[in-house]
Structure 1
Amino acid sequence: MSTGRSFYITTPIYYPSDVPHIGHGYTTVAVDTLARWHRQAGDDTWMLTGTDEHGQKMMRAAAANGVQPQEWVDKLVSESWFPLLETLDVANDDFIRTTQERHEERVKKFVQAIHDRGYIYAGEFEALYCVGCEEFKTESEIVDGTGPFEGLKVCAIHSKPLELLQEKNYFFKLSEFGDRLLELYATQPDFIRPESARNEVVSFVKNGLKDLSISRSTFDWGITVPWDQSHVIYVWVDALLNYATAVGYGAEQDEFDRRWPAYHVVGKDILRFHAVIWPAMLMAAGVEVPRGVFAHGWLLVGGEKMSKSKLTGIAPTEITDVFGSDAYRFYFLSAIAFGQDGSFSWEDLSARYQAELANGFGNLASRTTAMIERYFEGVIPPAASYEEGDLRIQRIVAEAAAAADAAIERFRVDEAIAAIWTIVDALNLYITENEPWALAKDSERRPRLETVLYTAAEGLRALAVLLSPVMPESTEKLWIALGAAETIGRLQDQPIREAGAWGVLRPGASVNGLAPLFPRVEQSA
């Protein structure tokens, strides 16, 4: 079912020293939904996620826990990060760890390539460094400490003291790429999205770029610089390269040519690394730049950006244990405009679950299948003849499917869900207005009842296909309940760009009993 079109999409690789919170989950399910949509559209899709395991922060955390760094990251990844993918029903194609041999060997090849092309030189370096960010700080990112840190310079993000580092380092000539980057942003206006993110990056680059220190010599937890064993490659350079190494850079050229370039979805706080440093590194190596970088906003809890150190981090399982993974995916992807900051609250989650999922979509599915069971012995009736109200539903389904696909192309999953939801609302109103329970009492109106229930069931068929990338679990249950698995085939094989076509559901198919898709959640006081 391949269109031959490559769609390679990545999450950032996550720092395993933090346990996953709902912010990590948000990025991951957004990327998974985009990948599932393209996969189901027949595009040659590949979704990558993974973990960023080198650097000083990781080495110190391992030492504090009395173990070797590799042992420490192995434990974190197996206990926290693999389970996250299961918890949130993520269908990634690959999971890269920066400690894997495939990554380390290919990183060395890439760094050697930009060295050979004259873009790396040795120099002395002194600057304030934040271990939490694994980043040297510019003046605008440094603030005066307060309280116990009074008189010290601290990181604006972590509020922790910065360390003055003096080292002989290797530098990447980032300063030479300003004009080429500005040309890239001008000729490909959607290279960085949304527009607010693009504007920020353009003004940053226009202010002039400084060369980037790309090695460290004061610790050894990292990938060694190929021409100088006393240095390890700066963790951010190593991390960014995962997107290329995972699909075969420097080893499997055919695979790399098939997949690359990628779309990157990142939190806005790491936008500059992905939209400035990363394309410049690729230009230096003579490799194509990414297809695009999409920066989403922050998830705020009580008005603050989530972080473990401030105890605002909420584990995804706290939500999925109560509401299920589909509700988690639906809520974060529909309640927040993708690309803007969004606030999380339990009250909002609970209200939307009840109104949109339980009473909206779930109730529509339950009552439609129940009426087919009651009035037609569980067999989907054929439509007799269509009236204007029925044709209107067909138009709404077709328009919603087209609008959702267009929104996905813009990376606006929230707009796609809003478009699809017009079908839910229209069908619920359609059933209320046509009153199948009243039609069932009059044998002469039987043909009309057939048309109404076929229309409702076929509308649900379209919803199951269109919502399957967002809510894979409940749509699968609905698909089976509609008898579609036996008569049409597997849900994941349905071409999603054709979901709006009418008349796919086969009359005569047997409807199976459907338990509530979104059961009532008992709220504990």
Structure 2
Amino acid sequence: MQNSCKNVYITTPIYYVNDVAHIGHAYTTIIADMLARYSRLIGHNTYLLTGTDEHGQKIAQSAEARNKTPKEYADEISGKFRSLWDEFDITYDKFIRTTDEEHKIGVQKAFLKMYENGDIYKGEYEGFYCVPCETFYPESQLIDEQFCPECGRATIVVKEESYFFKLSSYEDKLLKWYEENPDCILPRAKKNEIVNFVRNGLKDLSISRTSFDWGVKLPKEMNEPKHVMYVWLDALLNYTTALGYGTDEKNMNFWPANIHLVGKDILRFHAIYWPAFLMSLNLPLPKHIAAHGWWTRDGEKMSKSKGNVVNPKEVADAYGLDAFRYFLLREVPFGQDGDFSQKALIDRINSDLGNDLGNLLNRIIGMSGKYFDYNVSSKDVEKFHKKEIEEVNSIVDSLENYIYNMQINRYLEEIWKILTIANKAINDYEPWNLIKDGKNDQAMALVALITNIMAKVALLLDSVMPHKIKDIANCLGVEISTENYNKLILNKEFLNDVKITKVDALFPRVEDILLAQPQTSDVTKTEDGDSKVELEKLDIEDNLITIDKFFETTIKVGTIIEAQEVPKSGKLLLLKVDLGENRPRQILAGIKEFYSAVDLIGTQACVVANLKPAKLMGYVSEGMLLAAKDENGLSLIRPEKPKKIGTKIS
């Protein structure tokens, strides 16, 4: 294990301000904070970055729905993220926002440099765009030729003037980087997915938009006032602009990043787009891009409609922040999906933290107080406990490899092996009998062994549970510092004579769950006037809505009065539908494979009439026809008998 001082740069993704923080955000941020605290403790110059991603069409739409400006909405949600991380004592060195002026300047300079390097050109883009994911997808990746492969929502067809990044020209360079740097993407299994994706061929990337204006403008030198940058180009560059790229570059000595922490859903952006951008800018590539899995709750996918989304603040307030941190870091191997349940958390608190760690500290307090008036001397530890010392040191020497290879759960498992050695030593040597037999020096050596082990464990766990470790350190009279890390961990020295101080129980036993559970009963109750009707739980989708939510959708019967094919489209028909309004609605429907235009004229259909208009293939669509599709084809949903146009469906 080495302790040479170096610069360490750790980043979380910048979190999109479309919603408040959930357990996934907390998981990423706590991992990053743990890595940063550990790196500082062992003596590295460390820089931790987090922040919020605030541009893009989705943010503009969310703000509009709340009668706010995009900046007002971004300020509100970004502020909630920052407040939570402050409450969680996240030791970030910078909280960046993509609305920061310094960030915008750096992004514009990067765009101009890539353009001058010949990697950006002007063209026209037409493709399928998912607004929630802020991502373009080729038609071959769509679900049922319409829906986003990531979130399942309907995509829109976008056709507009755009600047493109020559991503295709970086295929070979990216593949070479993956090959020459086996751990550039962690876990390694995730790297295989990325390599296969790149080998299948990369297309040039649209990196500007003109259909909305909530984003970073292109550099003024390009004289393109209608264009804003693609949100992912803007967002990814935060990792360099946070260090001053393009403005005050005094912190650029921290680049390249040691670890970019990301969720698996955004790995492709970080492992393909980002290194290609950096190659274009002639900047070094990150050392590791580490992708973690998702969290479920009690074995089920979390969703707002289920009411089972885990609020990290509520959990930390109920069970303690350090217990929550330990649970997240210990419960699941990095890269795999994890499951949160209060029962699993309580088991960790009562077993790992209460019995193994907390009880061992209580035994130190009890033995030192009962036998030696709380005074502990290490002078005979090596004489009587060479075997245990060697076992502990062997484990300690292996630990740092687990940290920087993102095997944090293994790191904690190994530390708990050290605690097992300590608890076993007490049971094996029975200090109460040593005292009874007059072997006070051996009893003192045993208490000192356990005290030294606990001091080592405190140093090793400080990055995981910094607040509870302060209590342990105060009890042992040990300062958590780089000096003591070097002394006790690296140099394998022993504590000087110490005076043990009593402290309260670290992790009191938890008997019952402390937070209300999501409703999972087999009966759903609904009100019909004054009477209550019980409904059997059905095997249905997880996106349940209430009846009042359903009535927010207006569905009307309309008559199709005109129909024609859309040029250059193999799927779309352009319809005029009479809903009994002051003019017919223009609606685009992807039903050309199943219906001819002429056969639709004069027929009725069910129309979602209160959809926000959308532009598809250059045409405005003012509604959506209801249809059902299975292996036998697609059928429009129609009234059984002709109905008056404009009749509402309820």
TM range (shorter): over 0.9
Q: 1:499 aligns with which of 489, 492, 502?
A: 489
Structure 1 residue 466 displacement after superposition: 0.6
Counterpart in the other structure of 1:50: 51
Counterpart residue type for residue 452 of structure 2: E
CA shift digits 1:348-371 (9 cap, x unpaired): 111121110001101101121222
- Give yes or no for contact 1:383–1:450 (8 Å, CA) kept in 2: no
- Give yes or no for contact 2:215–2:231 (8 Å, CA) kept in 1: yes
Counterpart residue type for residue 447 of structure 2: L
1:402 aligns with 2:416: no
Structure 1 residue 498 displacement after superposition: 5.3
Q: 1:517 aligns with which of 490, 501, 506?
A: 506
CA shift digits 1:16-66 (9 cap, x unpaired): 222111111111111111111111111121111110011111111111111
Output the TM-score relative to the length of structure 2: 0.75
In 1, the alpha carbon distance for the partners of 2:513 and 2:30 equals 27
In 1, the alpha carbon distance for the partners of 2:331 and 2:508 equals 20
In 2, the alpha carbon distance for the partners of 1:465 and 1:162 equals 51
In 2, the alpha carbon distance for the partners of 1:2 and 1:195 equals 26
1:494 partner SS: helix
In 1, the alpha carbon distance for the partners of 2:19 and 2:51 equals 14
1:282 aligns with 2:278: yes
Q: How does 1:376-395 map to 2 (within 5 A)?
A: 376-384=372-380, 386=382, 390-395=385-390
Counterpart in the other structure of 2:198: 205
Structure 1 residues 351 and 113, CA gap change in structure 2 (3 angstroms): same
Q: How does 1:49-448 map to 2 (within 5 A)?
A: 49-78=50-79, 80-139=80-139, 141-144=141-144, 153-226=146-219, 227=222, 228-308=224-304, 311-384=307-380, 386=382, 390-442=385-437, 444-448=438-442
Structure 1 residues 280 and 385, CA gap change in structure 2 (3 angstroms): closer
Structure 1 residues 180 and 312, CA gap change in structure 2 (3 angstroms): farther
1:24 partner SS: helix
Higher radius of gyration, 1 or 2: 2
In 1, the alpha carbon distance for the partners of 2:68 and 2:376 equals 62
- Give yes or no for contact 1:178–1:209 (8 Å, CA) kept in 2: yes
Unpaired stretches in structure 2, ≥5 consecutive residues: 515-650
In 2, the alpha carbon distance for the partners of 1:109 and 1:329 equals 39
Counterpart in the other structure of 1:456: 450
Structure 1 residues 385 and 53, CA gap change in structure 2 (3 angstroms): closer
Structure 1 residues 516 and 492, CA gap change in structure 2 (3 angstroms): farther
Q: Which moved more, 1:67-76 or 1:134-143?
A: 134-143
By relative contact order (CA 8 Å, sep 6+), the higher-ranking structure is: 1
In 2, the alpha carbon distance for the partners of 1:309 and 1:94 equals 35
1:294 partner SS: strand
- Give yes or no for contact 2:381–2:449 (8 Å, CA) kept in 1: no
Structure 1 residue 89 displacement after superposition: 3.0
In 2, the alpha carbon distance for the partners of 1:501 and 1:516 equals 31
- Give yes or no for contact 2:9–2:254 (8 Å, CA) kept in 1: no
CA shift digits 1:75-134 (9 cap, x unpaired): 1122x2123213433211111111111111100000010011111111111111111101
Q: How high is the sequence identity, in percent, across the aligned residues?
A: 39
1:291 partner SS: coil
Structure 1 residues 513 and 302, CA gap change in structure 2 (3 angstroms): closer
- Give yes or no for contact 1:59–1:221 (8 Å, CA) kept in 2: yes
More helix by share: 1
Counterpart residue type for residue 142 of structure 1: L
Structure 1 residue 140 displacement after superposition: 5.0
- Give yes or no for contact 1:18–1:308 (8 Å, CA) kept in 2: no
Q: Which moved more, 1:362-371 or 1:171-180?
A: 362-371
Counterpart in the other structure of 2:522: none
- Give yes or no for contact 1:401–1:497 (8 Å, CA) kept in 2: no
In 2, the alpha carbon distance for the partners of 1:401 and 1:287 equals 36
Counterpart in the other structure of 1:148: none
Structure 1 residues 308 and 209, CA gap change in structure 2 (3 angstroms): farther
More strand by share: 2
2:439 partner SS: helix
- Give yes or no for contact 1:298–1:305 (8 Å, CA) kept in 2: no
- Give yes or no for contact 1:87–1:320 (8 Å, CA) kept in 2: no
Structure 1 residues 82 and 33, CA gap change in structure 2 (3 angstroms): same
* Alignment root-mean-square deviation, CA: 2.0
- Give yes or no for contact 2:262–2:292 (8 Å, CA) kept in 1: yes
